[in-house]
């Protein structure tokens, strides 16, 4: 059969319907106890192999272009389990320095105490990863586009450095979503997502996903079984349902975000716009080469004046911490995702007090422009 498009895969992959009554959708299988005889593997929720977990994984594996994967109860569970599966005391990891706030906090508070060392480097300069490699380095970890200033890391360049030094690469692909960027096709080993964002897409599910080869997934599964962090069947059913519209939603978000980035760039009350789809964004060419689906629904901008006051005047766009929902939301990174970072640390990654992070939804773009316009006065 010819390769199916992502629009088709998002609807059909992994969703085999109801084998007993021939219904269209995957039934919810709430069992936590399964017969262990005559089964290919023992089924148990914390073994990450129940039917509803499996349906989500098959869809995600098809959309990311991997071989196998796991679904978790949060994005951080997916990220930390994937990292710890390959690390032990004495090892070293190279991270890019503008990590998602929660990941940054987890690394800076858990790694050193466990004897795992790390360096943080400028993700927009591939050579900085190579310079930071030590004899004990095991993993390179990247996130692109990054949060909140949408810096672009060249994934092909990082994958080639890693393969030269025989290192494993892990990416947080949350911002791009599998619609816009498939890191495995660019040579990255393990893809992780906070499914709480685009994968869930309706601001009502917390989950995480990892996708990789069979071999690496097996290694992560072994650690995941010990750490827990498995999602329940009802949650998995909602994720599967959400994934059916992932491609449609993200396509609309890509379109809206590009139009709004251009609108904001022209606006006299806006100082600076960060969006990889703008041709003057320093990572634009790399983004174009590695994000064939689009540049994503996330952008940031600096307002002239008080960001908090601006957000208070919005009528349609909601103020919210999370992102990736069908509804447009904005937040101040200084007050939310990066609140735990010191002012000095924030300065290094361009997170200013007047920065607004914008998660563009699927609404009519003209309505969104009008809302921003009236709030910027
Ligand atoms: C939200 C987020 C996470 C963490 O995911 P949770 O589901 O909150 O655990 C990690 N990375 C990025 C880029 C995120 O936006």
Of 183, 211, 243, the position where a domain reaches its end is: 243
- Same domain? For 20 and 127 the reply is yes
Structural domain contains residue 96: yes
Q: What is the pLDDT along the chain (377 residues), one digit of tens a residue?
A: 678 999 999 999 999 999 999 999 999 999 999 999 988 889 999 999 999 999 999 999 999 999 999 999 999 999 999 999 999 999 999 999 889 988 999 999 999 899 999 999 999 999 999 999 999 999 999 999 998 899 999 999 999 999 999 999 999 999 999 999 999 999 999 999 999 999 999 999 999 999 999 999 999 999 999 999 999 999 999 999 999 999 999 999 999 999 999 999 999 999 999 999 999 999 999 999 999 999 999 999 999 999 999 999 999 999 998 899 999 999 998 888 788 778 888 887 788 999 999 999 999 999 999 999 999 98
The predicted pLDDT at position 163 comes to: 98
Ligand 1 atom having least distance to the Cα of 322: 1
Structural domain contains residue 16: yes
Q: Name the token pair of 181.
A: 């960027």
Q: What is the pTM of this model?
A: 0.96
Q: Which residues contact 230 (CB under 8 A, 6 or more apart)?
A: 45, 46, 47, 48, 53, 71, 72, 73, 224
Q: Name the token pair of 254.
A: 């890509």
Angle at 94 between CA 89 and CA 97, to 5 degrees: 125
Instruction: Examine the residue annotation and report whether 100 is marked as an active-site residue of this protein.
Output: yes
For tokens 């978790």, name the residue: 72
* 3-state secondary structure (DSSP) of residue 68: strand
Residue count of the chain: 377
The predicted pLDDT at position 219 comes to: 98
Q: Find out whether 186 and 159 touch, Cβ atoms under 8 Å.
A: yes
Q: Give the separation between CA 110 and CA 87, rounded to whole angstroms.
A: 13
- Same domain? For 255 and 219 the reply is no
Q: H/E element holding 165?
A: none
- Same domain? For 235 and 326 the reply is no
Q: Give the separation between CA 359 and CA 184, rounded to whole angstroms.
A: 25
- Same domain? For 88 and 211 the reply is yes
The predicted pLDDT at position 337 comes to: 78
Q: Find out whether 208 and 197 touch, Cβ atoms under 8 Å.
A: no
Q: Which of 168, 155, 151, 192 is nearest to 292 (CA)?
A: 155
Query: In Å, how far from its chain's centre is CA 274?
Result: 18
Q: Give the separation between CA 253 and CA 325, rounded to whole angstroms.
A: 10
Ligand 1 atom having least distance to the Cα of 147: 13
The predicted pLDDT at position 1 comes to: 63
Structural domain contains residue 1: no
Q: Name the token pair of 356.
A: 């607004």
Pocket of ligand 1 from Cβ distances under 6 Å = 74-76, 100, 102-103, 147, 172, 174-175, 194, 196-197, 206, 208
- Same domain? For 135 and 99 the reply is yes
| Contacts of range 336-341, beta carbons closer than 8 Å, 24 or more positions apart | 336/101, 337/100, 337/101, 337/102, 337/147, 337/148, 338/101, 338/148, 339/101, 340/101, 340/105, 341/101, 341/104
For tokens 């893809």, name the residue: 191
Instruction: Examine the residue annotation and report whether 197 is marked as an active-site residue of this protein.
Output: yes
Q: What is the DSSP string of 249-318?
A: HHHHHHHHHHHHHHHHHH-TTEEEEE-TTSTTSTTHHHHHHH-TT-S-SEEEEEESS-HHHHHHT-SSSE
Q: Name the token pair of 97.
A: 């320095």
CATH code of the domain covering residue 61: 3.40.640.10
Q: What is the DSSP string of 143-158?
A: ESS-TTT-----HHHH
Q: Give the separation between CA 148 and CA 340, rounded to whole angstroms.
A: 14
Q: Give the separation between CA 291 and CA 145, rounded to whole angstroms.
A: 10
Instruction: Please name the residue whose Cα sits nearest to atom 2 of ligand 1.
Output: 194
- Same domain? For 65 and 147 the reply is yes
Of 243, 275, 300, the position where a domain reaches its end is: 243
Question: Could you tell me whether strands 117-121 and 168-172 are parallel, antiparallel, or unpaired per DSSP bridges?
Answer: unpaired
Instruction: Examine the residue annotation and report whether 350 is marked as an active-site residue of this protein.
Output: no
- Same domain? For 236 and 362 the reply is no
| Contacts of range 130-134, beta carbons closer than 8 Å, 24 or more positions apart | 130/161, 130/165, 132/94, 133/94, 133/161, 133/165, 133/167, 134/92
- Same domain? For 253 and 237 the reply is no
Mutate-to-test residue for ligand 1 from 102, 106, 321, highest number of ligand atoms within 8 A of CB: 102
For tokens 């998660």, name the residue: 359
Instruction: Please name the residue whose Cα sits nearest to atom 8 of ligand 1.
Output: 75
Q: Name the token pair of 243.
A: 């994934």
Of 212, 243, 274, the position where a domain reaches its end is: 243
Q: Which residues pair with 94 in a beta bridge?
A: 119, 140
Instruction: Please name the residue whose Cα sits nearest to atom 7 of ligand 1.
Output: 75
The predicted pLDDT at position 302 comes to: 97
- Same domain? For 142 and 93 the reply is yes
Q: Find out whether 94 and 140 touch, Cβ atoms under 8 Å.
A: yes
Q: Give the separation between CA 93 and CA 107, rounded to whole angstroms.
A: 10
Q: Which domain holds residue 204?
A: 6-243
The predicted pLDDT at position 344 comes to: 86
Ligand 1 atom having least distance to the Cα of 175: 13
Helices 75-84 & 101-110, crossing angle to 10 degrees?
A: 40
Instruction: Examine the residue annotation and report whether 214 is marked as an active-site residue of this protein.
Output: no
- Same domain? For 262 and 303 the reply is yes
Domain count of the chain? Answer: 2
- Same domain? For 170 and 294 the reply is no
CATH code of the domain covering residue 275: 3.90.1150.10
The predicted pLDDT at position 346 comes to: 84
Structural domain contains residue 122: yes
- Same domain? For 58 and 164 the reply is yes
Q: Which residues pair with 128 in a beta bridge?
A: none
């Amino acid at each position: 059969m010819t390769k199916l498009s992502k629009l088709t895969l998002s609807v059909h992959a992994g969703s085999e319907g109801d084998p007993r009554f021939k219904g269209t959708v995957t039934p919810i299988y709430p069992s936590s106890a399964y017969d262990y005889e005559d089964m290919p593997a023992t089924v148990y929720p914390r073994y990450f192999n129940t039917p509803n977990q499996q349906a989500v994984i098959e869809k995600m594996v098809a959309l990311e272009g991997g071989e196998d994967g796991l679904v978790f109860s949060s994005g951080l569970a997916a990220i930390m389990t994937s990292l710890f599966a390959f690390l032990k005391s004495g090892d070293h990891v190279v991270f890019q320095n503008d990590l998602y706030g929660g990941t940054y906090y987890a690394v800076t508070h858990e790694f050193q105490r466990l004897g795992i060392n790390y360096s943080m480097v400028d993700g927009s300069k591939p050579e900085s990863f190579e310079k930071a490699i030590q004899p004990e380095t095991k993993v390179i970890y990247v996130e692109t586009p990054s949060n909140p200033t949408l810096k672009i890391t060249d994934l092909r360049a990082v994958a080639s450095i890693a393969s030269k030094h025989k290192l494993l690469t892990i990416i947080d692909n949350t911002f791009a979503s599998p619609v816009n960027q498939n890191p495995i096709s660019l040579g990255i080993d393990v893809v992780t997502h906070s499914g709480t964002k685009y994968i869930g897409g309706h601001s009502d599910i917390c989950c995480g996903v990892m996708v990789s080869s069979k071999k690496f997934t097996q290694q992560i599964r072994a650690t995941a079984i010990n750490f827990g962090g498995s999602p329940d069947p009802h949650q998995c059913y909602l994720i599967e349902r959400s994934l059916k519209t992932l491609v449609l939603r993200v396509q609309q978000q890509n379109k809206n975000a590009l139009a709004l980035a251009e609108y904001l760039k022209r606006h006299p009350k806006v100082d600076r716009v960060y969006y990889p789809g703008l041709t003057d964004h320093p990572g634009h060419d790399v983004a174009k080469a590695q994000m064939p689906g689009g540049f994503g629904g996330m952008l940031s901008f600096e307002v002239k004046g008080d960001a908090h006051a601006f957000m208070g005047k919005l009528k349609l766009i909601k103020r919210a911490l999370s992102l990736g929902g069908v509804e447009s939301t904005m937040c101040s990174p200084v007050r939310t995702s990066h609140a735990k970072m010191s002012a000095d640390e924030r300065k290094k990654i361009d997170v200013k007090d007047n920065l607004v992070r914008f998660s563009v939804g699927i609404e009519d773009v003209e309505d969104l422009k009008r809302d921003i316009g009236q709030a910027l006065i």
